[in-house]
Amino acid sequence: MLWMLFIFLAVYAAQILFIFPRILDELIITTFSLTFLTLLCLLVTNCKDPGYITNRVDFMELLDHFDATQLCPECQTLRTVRSRHCNVCHRCVERFDHHCPWINNCVGVYNHNWFLAYLTSQYMLLGVTIANCVVSIFSGDLVLGKIAQIFDIGQPWQHEELYYWIAFGAIAFFSALFFIPMNLLYFVQITNYLKGMTTNERFGRGANRHDSEYNEENIEQLHKLKTASTGFGSQTGGDPALLVRRPTTKSKKLQTALHSLEQKPFNVNEMMKKMQSKEFRHMDQMRVGNCSLMCCSTGVRDQREIFTYLTKPGTSQFVRVVNDETQMID
């Protein structure tokens, strides 16, 4: 994190000394504002608890009631569906996304929104920095003597041109260096929010299993059941929902489509257009619902509360606790 912060400050200082004298005041104000916002989001993401799971139940008592595969031996906690043990922080993190070396912290349920805000502001700042460099090239004559007066080194003013191109080359190099990984990371995180999943759930071990549990078909029912009471309190307000895996599959949709073709052989194009339009609307609704869940689901279940709920008489052995939801797995 320190080396990244050093590069960031060096590039920013080069902009102030050599680029700002040649660009509009509006661009300067925009750059200052985005820089402040980026540093603020970076600081919060770095310092904020990502969602560490704290043990409040005796580990031997957990072993008496649960299989060892459901427990984390290092943290001595009960695993939840969306938690994972970070090998860098050596802690279990709720809704674990990944451990980010840029912020020197895990990205979890508590700081995931701040991390996305940091990426957004950093992405915008990178774009404004590139725009500043382009505008400075076509801004006309240099402000003669500006740099010489700043350094007070008594050199001829024509050296200002050399200073500018050295600074421009350094800024362009580091902007290009970070542009590709920033685009990739930002695209992955935006896609995660649209899918309602984390990076670990999409690309980590067991990604296919998780995809069958957190698919778009389930989100619709989640919203319908959001107000249903399960007798299991929520730290984030309101009652948790039951997320039931539904049996609908692509093959079932295909059978329905084929049946429609048999019934209406002369309206194939019209029928397909209606199906396509309905599917697109459904996907848009699912994306909005996924983003809403990712942004608003920011609580960590208390281990004692989970233990009490899962060990009370009559609780199904197929219930698995998630961050804000309780799943009934068939």
> What is the residue-wise DSSP string for 83-145?
-EEETTTTEEETT--EEETTTTEEE-TTTHHHHHHHHHHHHHHHHHHHHHHHHHHTS-S--TT
316 and 253 share one domain: yes
Q: Which amino acid would we find at residue 94?
A: E
Phi-psi sector, 266: left (phi>0), alpha (psi -120 to 50), beta: alpha
When comparing pLDDT for 48 and 215, which is higher?
A: 48
Domain that holds residue 135: 2-50+109-203
In a domain, 124, yes or no: yes
Residues 15 and 141 in one domain: yes
Tokens standing for residue 138: 């076509």
Which two tokens mark 260?
């429609």
Q: Using CB atoms within 10 Å of the CB of residue 70, give its burial: 0 to 12 exposed, 13 to 18 middle, 19+ buried.
A: middle
Q: For residue 173, what pLDDT band results from cuts at 50, 70 and 90?
A: confident
Residue 10 is assigned to a structural domain of this protein: yes
| Residue 288 binned pLDDT confidence (cut-offs 50, 70, 90) | confident
pTM, to two decimals: 0.70
How close are the terminal C-alpha atoms of the chain, in Å? 44
Does position 319 have pLDDT exceeding 50, yes or no? no
The long-range contacts involving 114-120, CB below 8 angstroms and separated by at least 24 positions, are 114/41, 114/44, 114/45, 114/48, 115/41, 115/45, 115/189, 116/189, 116/190, 116/193, 117/41, 118/38, 118/41, 118/42, 118/45, 119/182, 119/185, 119/186, 119/189, 120/186
Domain shared by 234 and 273, yes or no: yes
136 and 278 inside one domain:
no
Last residue of a domain, one of 174, 203, 232: 203
| Close Cβ partners of 268 (under 8 Å, ≥ 6 residues apart) | 261
The pLDDT, as a whole number, for residue 120 is 95
Same domain, yes or no: 196 and 295: no
Same domain, 175 and 241: no
Residues 286 and 261 in one domain: yes
91-120 pLDDT tens trace: 999 999 999 988 899 999 999 999 999 999
Residues in the chain: 330
- Range 82-98 average pLDDT: 93
**Domain boundary at 203, 229, 254, which?**
203
Same domain, 235 and 195: no
Q: Say yes or no: 180 and 238 in one domain.
A: no
Residues 40 and 122 in one domain: yes
Residue 165: inside a domain: yes
Same structural domain, 135 and 222:
no
**Greatest mean pLDDT among 27-31, 58-62, 258-262, 293-297:** 27-31
Last residue of a domain, one of 203, 233, 260: 203
The proportion of the chain whose per-residue pLDDT surpasses 90, expressed as a percent, equals 25
Bridge-partner residues for 319, per DSSP? Answer: 328
Cβ neighbours of 80 (radius 10 Å): 21
Q: Does 75 fall in a domain?
A: no
- What 3-state DSSP class applies to 328? strand
Q: How far is CA 201 from the centre of its chain?
A: 12
Q: How many domains does the chain have?
A: 2
Pairwise CA distance, residues 311 & 159, whole Å = 77
Does residue 166 lie in a domain region? yes
Asked whether the predicted pLDDT for residue 31 surpasses 70, the reply is yes
Domain-located, residue 191: yes
109 in Cβ contact with 325 (< 8 Å): no
Query: Does residue 132 fall inside a structural domain?
Result: yes
Separation between Cα atoms, residue 285 and residue 143, nearest integer Å: 54
Residues 165, 235, single domain; the answer is: no
Flag whether 79 is in a domain: no
Over residues 232-245, the mean pLDDT reads 34
